[in-house]
């Protein structure tokens, strides 16, 4: 018995060449054998993409931005709740979804206020001398 714990007396394919390749598969100890559930990051990626779309679209088409934001938030929280891989992407989706949702709601409020102000301005112009009655 030596100090390197090499108790195997059957050393058939051992070579003195340090660059010789072994014949068998060596599992990488850092990636757990590559056993990751297939498609598990899909919801996290969808949450992040929809959150980004909610921000971009929420500035122009408010209702679509609100819908994208709500879906991004729901998907992100589902990933977080189930503990699936892609936690960072799910967090990004939640944050972007909240921002997109807020932008969409703010856009609707601004449109309502601006619409009411324009209506009042148009009525004030009708009472003025600019229009022939």
Q: Quote the pTM value.
A: 0.62
Total of domains in the chain: 1
Within a domain: residue 100? yes
Within a domain: residue 99? yes
Quick one: how many helices (H) and strands (E) in the chain?
A: 3, 0
Q: What is the mean pLDDT of the chain?
A: 79
pLDDT tens-place string over residues 66-91? 999 999 999 999 999 998 889 999 99
Within a domain: residue 116? yes
What ranges make up the beta strands (E) of the chain? none
Within a domain: residue 85? yes
Within a domain: residue 117? yes
Q: Does 4 or 83 have the greater pLDDT score?
A: 83
Within a domain: residue 77? yes
Q: Does 45 or 131 have the greater pLDDT score?
A: 45
Range of the domain at 108: 41-125
- Residue 90 and residue 62: Cα distance in Å, rounded? 23
Within a domain: residue 21? no
Give the model's pLDDT for residue 115.
85
Instruction: Tell me if residue 14 falls in helix, strand or coil.
Output: coil
The count of other CB atoms within 10 Å of the CB of residue 48 is 26
Q: Does 106 or 8 have the greater pLDDT score?
A: 106
Within a domain: residue 16? no
Secondary structure letter of residue 45 according to DSSP: H
Q: How far is CA 119 from the centre of its chain?
A: 41
Q: Write the CB contacts of 16 (distance below 8 Å, at least 6 apart in sequence).
A: none
Q: Write the CB contacts of 28 (distance below 8 Å, at least 6 apart in sequence).
A: 34
- Using alpha carbons, select from 104, 52, 98 the residue that is nearest to residue 77: 98
């Amino acid at each position: 018995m030596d100090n390197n714990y090499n108790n195997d007396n059957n050393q058939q394919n051992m070579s003195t060449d340090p660059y010789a390749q072994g014949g068998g598969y060596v599992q990488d100890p850092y990636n757990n054998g590559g056993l990751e559930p297939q498609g598990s990051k899909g919801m996290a990626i969808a949450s992040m993409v929809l959150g980004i779309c909610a921000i971009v679209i929420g500035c122009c088409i408010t209702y679509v931005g609100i819908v994208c934001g709500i879906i991004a938030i729901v998907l992100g929280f589902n990933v977080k709740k189930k503990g699936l891989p892609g936690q960072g992407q799910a967090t990004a989706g939640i944050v972007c979804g909240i921002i997109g949702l807020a932008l969409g709601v703010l856009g609707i409020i601004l449109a309502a206020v601006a619409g009411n102000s324009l209506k009042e301005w148009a009525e004030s112009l009708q009472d003025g001398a600019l229009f022939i009655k």
